Amino acid sequence: MDKITFALPKGRLFDQTIDILKKSGILSEDINQNTRKLILESKEYRFLVVRAKDVPVYVENGIADIGVAGDDVLLESQPDVYKPLDLKIGYCNIVVAGKPEDRDFYFSNPVSLDVATKYPKITAQFFSDKGINVRIFELYGSVELAPLVGLAKFIVDIVETGTTLRENGLVVIDTIRPSTAKLIINRGSYKLKSDKIFKILDSVEKFLGGEL
């Protein structure tokens, strides 16, 4: 049997996605991340355990039929995939943050700004729309450190509870947009495996609709 393959981010969205699949009635077994295995199998599905940013790569290239990725990741990588469903998990905001004392400078119509971020494309687009030149320092994590040590006055990052900003004395200065996790589908799979894919989409949609 040709199993439908999911690419799931190994972090905070993994268990929530499995929970949705189970509650939607399309997955009956328990799938957990308590091993170092990167391919997990259930009777009907295969799950690839990948970094959040890598999900679109596996789905766009047809290695996975279905994936789960936040708007932050999707805006950054702009994959050529279908995005039929908002899973209503992974809520966060993509924001500009910095030290409170740098807020006035940010709003003083500066010609250029220094920004550290894991999201260089989102950052470039946001500031280009505002007509502000931006020097981007691309980082891979702990972005909140940058303003504290003088790498860049500002950061573009996601904020969920605000704890990381607060504990580092930073504040939200501007909001770019909210982000939630989307189900993404490979374009070929959408056509060639339409029966199975539609059944999954239909079940998840019905479950989420009932959740509202």
Ligand X SMILES: Nc1ncnc2c1ncn2[C@@H]1O[C@H](COP(=O)(O)OP(=O)(O)OP(=O)(O)O)[C@@H](O)[C@H]1O
Segment interacting with ligand PRP, rule: CB under 6 A, options 67-75, 152-160, 180-188, 195-203: 152-160
Tokens of 201: 């989409």
Between 78 and 142, CB nearer to ligand PRP: 142
Of the candidates 38, 41, 51, 128, which one interacts with ligand X according to CB under 6 A? 51
Count of CA atoms in the C-beta half-sphere (13 A) of 113:
28
The type of residue at 124 is A
Count of CA atoms in the C-beta half-sphere (13 A) of 42:
17
Residue 178 binds ligand X, judged by CB under 6 A: no
d(CA 20, CA 28): 11
Residue 90: name its binding partner from ligand X, ligand PRP, none (Cβ under 5 to 8 Å by kind).
ligand X
In the complex, least distance from residue 168 CB atom to ligand X, rounded to whole angstroms: 14
Segment interacting with ligand X, rule: CB under 6 A, options 5-13, 25-33, 103-111, 195-203: 5-13
Tokens of 148: 């504290």
Do 64 and 24 form a contact (C-beta atoms < 8 A)? Answer: no
Between 17 and 186, CB nearer to ligand X: 17
Segment interacting with ligand X, rule: CB under 6 A, options 65-73, 76-84, 170-178, 204-212: 65-73
Write the CB contacts of 32 (distance below 8 Å, at least 6 apart in sequence).
15, 18
Q: Which residue is nearest to ligand PRP (CB)?
A: 141
In the complex, least distance from residue 138 CB atom to ligand PRP, rounded to whole angstroms: 13
Tokens of 160: 């969920």
d(CA 183, CA 179): 13
Residue 158 binds ligand X, judged by CB under 6 A: yes
Q: Compute the residue count for the chain.
A: 212
Of the candidates 179, 200, 201, 204, which one interacts with ligand X according to CB under 6 A? 179
The type of residue at 141 is G
Tokens of 164: 């990381």
Residue 163 binds ligand PRP, judged by CB under 6 A: yes
Contacts with ligand PRP by CB under 6 A lie at 141-144, 157-164
Contacts with ligand X by CB under 6 A lie at 9, 11-13, 51-52, 70, 72-73, 90, 92, 158, 160, 179, 181
